[in-house]
Structure 1
Amino acid sequence: MEGLCSVNNLLALSALLNPPNEDDEEDCAFVPSTGKLGPGHIGPAKSAESKVATSAYIKNNSKDIWSEEEVPEAAQVDDITDPRPQPEYDIVLKQRVGTEDIFLGMSGKDPSSRCCESMVVKIKLPGTKCSEVVLDVKEKFLDLRTPKYRLGLHLPHPVHSQEGTAQFLSEKEELEVTLPMNRPMDCINLA
């Protein structure tokens, strides 16, 4: 048994499994072979490219369980135990047109939704005051909460959530939310 565990036998096995390169011979002269061997030395040597690929999966903060991109929008809104009813709402697409568009057709705009620049969401809130409305708009989701109503609305088009405006019409008891649309081909379609 002593013959199998000797240092010379381990060096011979190491040379057989992983033939030394010219660069490795200089390192072997100063480092004992038993300290250099490990599970990572079995098989062909790994290149620097594979080490870079594995570092791409390292998260910025190791305490984070997931990133914000992995969580779907409005995951916290889907509460089936909330007894508040959903208010009536209407989505209207809106575009800016001038006389050159209507009479002369110079800009190439047409009445289709492809040429619309913004989306207006009209929400009827009977018996609600302006101060009771809590509104949160994301790129693809609108969340509205009042003491009487709850609305979680998935928007038909992505919008610029920070550039939108909201107006409460107290005589109609209606909230109008105007949101500019954020579509990837708008620079071509609206040019």
Structure 2
Amino acid sequence: MEGLSSINTLHALSALLSPPDEDEEEDCAFVTSNAKLGPGHIGPAKSAESKPAASAYTKNYSKAIWSEEEVAEGAHFDDIADPRPQPEYDIILKQSVGTEDIFLGMSRKDPSSMCCENMVVKIKLPGTKVAEVILDVKETFLDLRTPKYKLGLHLPHPVHSQEGNAQFIVEKEELEVTLPMNRLLDCINLA
């Protein structure tokens, strides 16, 4: 068994399994004999032309977090050919508080968004009349269309779409949409 562990035996075994390339010998001339051989030297030499076969499960190595196919909700509202700009808007979370909440701290309400009851979306629509506004509210998406503007807005929290109300303030040329929030633990948080 002692004969298999010598360097000369390993060279002979390597030469037997794969004849050394001339370029490889020149590149490794300055390296010691122990460092010349490795697991990659056993077997036939691999050519640069051979590539692994492409399969259906190959991963796309882009930096995208998700693909466009995965984002389906609200995608039918997007119209790339529509040149109308998106209006300015603000989303404000609103909660009803009384003196017992502010001064005495008797309820379990706090300033976090978990204790908010309503979501108010303020949309600035300069040069727009009330009759021109088309508003469609879903549980997680708000769609607003006017002759001058379009807005497709994904809401940060689910809402009761049938229980909300909208008010157009003519002086500010602003539409205020108030939507009650629909969350799983509202009966606990708002008790």
Q: TM-score range by the shorter chain?
A: 0.5 to 0.7
Return the alpha-carbon distance in structure 1 between the equivalents of residues 144 and 73 of structure 2: 14
Deviation, 1:108, is 1.3
The answer on whether the counterparts of 2:108 and 2:189 sit within 8 Å (CA) in structure 1 is: no
Return the alpha-carbon distance in structure 1 between the equivalents of residues 172 and 131 of structure 2: 16
Unpaired segments ≥5 residues, structure 2:
1-70
User: CA RMSD of the aligned region, Å?
Assistant: 1.2
Tell me the secondary structure at the aligned position of residue 162 of structure 1. Answer: coil
Deviation, 1:168, is 0.1
Deviation, 1:190, is 1.3
Query: How is 1:52-63 mapped onto 2 (pairs within 5 angstroms)?
Result: none
Return the alpha-carbon distance in structure 2 between the equivalents of residues 79 and 103 of structure 1: 50
2:93 matches 1:96? no
Return the alpha-carbon distance in structure 1 between the equivalents of residues 108 and 185 of structure 2: 15
Corresponding residue of 2:143:
143
Corresponding residue of 1:81:
81
Tell me the secondary structure at the aligned position of residue 114 of structure 1. Answer: helix
Larger Rg, first or second structure (1 or 2): 2
Return the alpha-carbon distance in structure 2 between the equivalents of residues 135 and 94 of structure 1: 21
Deviation, 1:72, is 4.2
Show CA shifts across 1:85-142 (max 9, x none).
0000000000001111111111111111110001000000000001100000000000
Deviation, 1:75, is 3.0
Q: TM-score, normalised by structure 1?
A: 0.62
Deviation, 1:179, is 0.3
Corresponding residue of 1:187:
187
Paired-residue identity, %: 83
AA matched with 1:142: L
Q: TM-score, normalised by structure 2?
A: 0.62
Structure 1 residue runs of 4 or more that deviate by more than 2 Å after TM superposition: 71-75
Return the alpha-carbon distance in structure 2 between the equivalents of residues 99 and 72 of structure 1: 44
AA matched with 1:163: E
Equivalent pairs counted in the alignment come to: 121
